Amino acid sequence: MISFLKSVIAVSVVTVLLFVVACRPQSKTSGKPDLQVEDLLAKMTLDEKLGQMSQIDPGFAGGEEQLKKAVRDGRYGSFLNMFGVERVNEIQKIAVEESRLGIPLLIGRDVIHGYRTIFPIPLGMAASWNPEIIRKAFRISSIEAASQGIRWTFAPMIDITWDPRWGRIAEGCGEDPYLASSLAKAMVEGIQGENLKDPTAVAACAKHFAGYGFAEAGRDYNTTYIPEPLLRNVVLKPFKAAADAGALTFMSAFNDLNGVPASGNEFTLKKILREEWKYKGMVVSDWGSVTEMINHGFCANEKEAAQKAISAGVDMEMSGSSYSSNAKQLLQENKINQAMIDDAVRYILKVKFDLGLFENPYVNPDLEKSILKPDFLDHARKVARESIVLLKNENNTLPLSNKIGSVAVMGPLADSPRDQLGTWVFDGKAENSVTPLHSLKEFLGGERVNYVQGLSYSRDKSTAAFQKCIAAAKSSDAILFFAGEEWILSGEGQSRGEINIPGAQDELIAELAKTGKPLIVVVMAGRPLAIGNTLKNSDALLYAWHGGTMSGPAISDILFGIESPSGKLPVTFVKGSGQIPFYYYRNNTGRPASEAFYTPIDSIPQINPQSSLGYKSFHLDYGYKPLLPFGYGLSYTTFDYNNLSLSSLSMSASGSVKISATVTNSGERDADEIVQLYIRDRVGSITRPIKELKGFSKVHIRQGEKAKVEFTLYGKDLEFFNGKDYVIEPGEFDVWIGPDSDNGLHGEFTIQ
């Protein structure tokens, strides 16, 4: 009864609040956001402007009364990590009804891959190569988050990285700029929805601008050195896609870029973002990144940090007070000017007007009914299923028959509800997770599942339960081992020097392989791990990432052939940390390696005469190829590629060429295939990559049937930055259509 009365009161309060807002006098410029912004800006004091440029976590506001007073005084424009219907409505009422100008607050929170319905980590979603299901996943995330008053999320994270040691690889879309750009667009569109004034629309934030994923040695927050051609041809492309998709905000990064910290970098923030791209959204710093420029050695104190960040174009300071404490003096000393302040506030107010916060700053309690809706969970299952990549399937070990007698289920990730959610999950709950063990018991019946955990967590090195595992394996028809890493081993600040499967997992897998029973390994992890030994010892291997709330059912769907796996790797898998960085679109060398010149280290004679003749570019102990190439992924059927066709063998820089191939499902199951288009510019004014992804298409093909897959390649698609200009250069090009970056049908064309 008490909870019912609380609900009635909450609804009544919101109704009154909405009525009050509706009755407030409207500006003469109502309905014209730019004029509304200018009208409001003209009325603001300098303190109120600096308040809009300041964001704080309520936990650092000095207590509840101090926080409320600061809102009344207009000292904050945004809060992060404040959520909940009653809480947000209460603080918005103070901002709208009790502050001088009634400017609503912008409430932000990290909603990286789900709010309560948790989807696979973004790297896992990228393995689906399916922008449509990703767009819908982020739309669901926003609907759930907005129900708690969150109207701004610090996503998508679209940093390109070539280093799987970097913990935040989990949050991104992998190594390739074309794939990441396609998914960045989908993520922004999903977060913001079709109508920004819809109460479920949330402002997206493209982060981290720029170069954060290139941190040296994969150590988080570390230095980055990125030549301008690499910056423009690779790193910035997903951000440009996000800007073009209408992302309302950008976030400046922690790292320094070529000696200049990103939060004080005028080249990226002013020249590229504002001047070249004409970006009209708002830029926020990362947490404390303004004052961290002192640690970088770029600023002597907070005053100088504020000066450089404001001058560079960081409009709002996240979790810091350097702006509010120093901007007045900086103005007096002419180290910044009033136009810089006004521009920053314009961008901030524009976001609030665009989101409709001035018309409706409050949260409708009815929106809470959307959380964990059955169709949301169904979509989480679908995304997790399409994210799974089949990396090995000897002798058609998979799919398993649902008539199998029994299975031995073991491994530290088999029943670990929190770990399967992955990193950067603030609001998802372990009790909502459906684990693989739970799903398998539901599918087969508990009596057919022989569960022995074996290792209590991923880093466990104890062999005490090995014999019990082996006994369970011998008494079962197949072994399902759920390997990987705990959620805490990836994400921000969680860099690893070695990226092997931790603990005694590989040791236990090797012992289980000796039983002769079919051994299926499912890897649940936040990064691409060095799984060479695991691949060797398993009969089949699925890479399921940290798959979110519905990981278990998605994995069961694949294991038992309800669906055929269709995921493809969004990142190259290396053999070990010593092979990093290794990415498929690397430039060639003067001495490229090939099979003919690769001699394993244990085959090298003891007497090796000193000579450079015949030496090539490879590691003696790793060879010249990665463990698994970018774009790789198997299916329960087989696809044959034939009949590559080009509409023309030449094109102009302003023209186009159509490239097609026939893909035949030559196996015994209907399935999806992700068909990939790659090109190579053979000669350029700077050296060009050996391959570049320029298109992909996910097609469903019935067994025995064929599909013609066609791509259109425009001259603009072949543009690159050569250190001076963006150019489309004439010459000869290679083109491939195939299943991954290592295989495909080859053709040629020229640009006249």
Which residues carry out catalysis?
A: 286
Which element (helix H / strand E) includes 744? Answer: strand 743-751
Residue type, 206: A
- Residue 139: phi and psi, rounded to 5, are -65, -45
Q: Round to whole Å and give the CA distance between 55 and 353.
A: 18
C-alpha closest to that of 238 among 281, 187, 180:
180
Measured in residues, the chain has a length of 752
Tell me the sheet residues that pair with 634.
390
Q: How far apart are the first and last CA of the chain?
A: 78
CB 752 within 8 A of CB 650: yes
For residue 646, is it left (φ>0), alpha (ψ between -120 and 50) or beta?
beta
| Cα torsion angle, 82, 213, 201, 323, sign | positive
- Strand-pair category, 205-209 with 54-56: unpaired
CA geometry: angle 629, 633, 638, nearest 5 deg: 125
Q: Round to whole Å and give the CA distance between 287 and 364.
A: 29
Q: Round to whole Å and give the CA distance between 414 and 552.
A: 9
DSSP code of residue 751: E
- Residue 710: phi and psi, rounded to 5, are -125, 140
CB 128 within 8 A of CB 105: no
The tokens describing 136, both together, are 């819908």
The tokens describing 424, both together, are 């950067």
Instruction: Find how far residue 265's CA is from the centre of its chain.
Output: 24
b/e burial code for range 467-488 (CB count within 10 A of at least 16 → b): eebbebbeebbbbbbbbbbbbb
Q: Round to whole Å and give the CA distance between 18 and 376.
A: 29
Q: Round to whole Å and give the CA distance between 401 and 28.
A: 69
CB 548 within 8 A of CB 118: yes
Instruction: Find how far residue 567's CA is from the centre of its chain.
Output: 16
DSSP code of residue 24: S
Tell me the sheet residues that pair with 480.
409, 520
Q: Round to whole Å and give the CA distance between 732 and 752.
A: 9
- Residue 236: phi and psi, rounded to 5, are -85, -15
Is 608 buried (19+), middle (13-18) or exposed (0-12) by CB count in 10 A?
A: exposed
Q: Is-cis flag, bond preceding 131, omega within 30?
A: no
Q: How large is the angle between the packed helices 85-93 and 64-72, nearest 10 degrees? A: 50
- Residue 418: phi and psi, rounded to 5, are -75, -40
Compute, in degrees rounded to 10, the torsion defined by CA atoms 303, 305, 310, 316: -100
The tokens describing 443, both together, are 């599918």
- Residue 282: phi and psi, rounded to 5, are -100, 145
